[in-house]
Structure 1
């Protein structure tokens, strides 16, 4: 079967652009008709490697990340995602709370999924690891990140944020969000948007540390809501707490 062909029809003689050229699902006419063809380009000896950075090739890389992620996580079993800052230091109260939550989740025979980095992520992975559980780290290719932490026993590193975030949502049945910066806020609002618009079901969301999060939600329920930008946030969908045990109980409540 020819992949690229000019397809003159009875109507072409009346067409203002003449012949129609088909390149797979793409239709080209007039000055857009190429002088080359896909098969010839495939077989051509070419020293130039610029094609490696073209968008069609990136699609294959994106596809491969989806395939690898689905393959690695499909049999993981029930899991809870724990988000939070990479800047939290060991021996701090925030770090120790995340260790405690990771351990409590693992003791329920539920996997812990984090972004795989240091700080809160390392702490939650550490808790899961020390409890003998499944400790998952889904890292991202960033120049300033330290890679997958040592407490992960199932790890992946992604090129693309959107693929990584899909893996979090697809394989987690609950979320605990600890204090964090732009990355944590991005992950939080992604999940809240999906929950609020009912794109995901049975996804309890817990924000840990009232003093950190309450001001944000006061603003959302105040200024943002008063300007008509959002409807009321369903209180059954989001819980803000200072209790690690309550956070774990709620985040795992959809897992039966």
Structure 2
């Protein structure tokens, strides 16, 4: 399909989405959505309430197995299991696969919160089959990550990775959830973003200086796990809200 055909198909899809509906049609559709959302919350709460302390690993679905960040995520995950944690990922390929693979290699809990996407995402083979949950709604999936993760390991990634990280930072900043460690791995990758937070957001007084302490920037696998361990030497492990 050429670029012109793709654009035309995209325009038709948008037109279809904005097609006029009467209020009864909208109300009926909304009712079904409510039940679907409820079912996803119920399944998530029931399964994840049983898994115990876990750390979530985020990062790009596009990272290949021979990439250094894939290997780092795999090793971080294995170390977390050896330190008594399970591992939660988004269930897909790339960094998510590396996280599940590391947990699986150490016979630890390997959880996958998979999202149904029209491209690139299928659940990886390293998830415990009784700990694989499939979601249609990003917002339900995000609740599960925040509620049942005792820490976030944020590997290099794209919009989805940034979305998860800033969601957690916002909830902690606004005291909607208890503080938990957020660890950004890879100084070369993240330092530009951190500089922007300091030089723009902080300078413009859109965040406070204390907000910069809500995350940790590290370079090695050992440092990443150390941040998690150090935090829970002081605080009790529990769901976040």
Distance across 2 between alignment mates of 1:149 and 1:249: 27
SS of residue matched to 1:64: helix
Unaligned runs of 5+ in 1: 1-33, 37-49
Q: Does 1:196 find its partner at 2:159?
A: no
Distance across 1 between alignment mates of 2:159 and 2:215: 19
Alpha-carbon distance, 1:92 to partner: 1.4
- The match for 1:25 is none
Alpha-carbon distance, 1:53 to partner: 6.7
Q: Does 1:214 find its partner at 2:191?
A: yes
- The match for 2:38 is 63
SS of residue matched to 1:54: helix
Alignment of 1:155-234 (within 5 A): 155-234=132-211
**Does the CA-based 8 Å contact 1:204-1:253 persist in structure 2?**
no
Q: Does 1:142 find its partner at 2:117?
A: yes
Further displaced range: 242-251 or 160-169: 242-251
Distance across 2 between alignment mates of 1:216 and 1:53: 44
Alpha-carbon distance, 1:172 to partner: 0.5
Distance across 2 between alignment mates of 1:202 and 1:224: 21
SS of residue matched to 2:69: helix
Q: How many residue pairs get matched?
A: 209
Structure with the higher helix share, 1 or 2: 2
Distance across 2 between alignment mates of 1:146 and 1:183: 12
Q: CA RMSD in A?
A: 2.0
**Does the CA-based 8 Å contact 1:174-1:254 persist in structure 2?**
no
Change (3 A) 1:129 1:53: farther
Distance across 1 between alignment mates of 2:158 and 2:210: 22
**Does the CA-based 8 Å contact 2:115-2:121 persist in structure 1?**
no
**Does the CA-based 8 Å contact 1:80-1:252 persist in structure 2?**
no
**Does the CA-based 8 Å contact 1:173-1:252 persist in structure 2?**
no
Distance across 2 between alignment mates of 1:52 and 1:117: 34
Distance across 2 between alignment mates of 1:119 and 1:53: 39
Deviation per CA, 1:151-170: give whole Å up to 9, x if none. Answer: 01121110100100000010
Distance across 1 between alignment mates of 2:83 and 2:154: 19
Alignment of 1:27-176 (within 5 A): 54-153=29-128, 154-176=131-153
**Does the CA-based 8 Å contact 1:78-1:171 persist in structure 2?**
yes
Distance across 1 between alignment mates of 2:26 and 2:33: 10
Distance across 2 between alignment mates of 1:70 and 1:225: 37
SS of residue matched to 1:240: strand
Distance across 1 between alignment mates of 2:88 and 2:156: 16
**Does the CA-based 8 Å contact 1:84-1:178 persist in structure 2?**
yes
Structure with the higher strand share, 1 or 2: 1
- The match for 1:42 is none
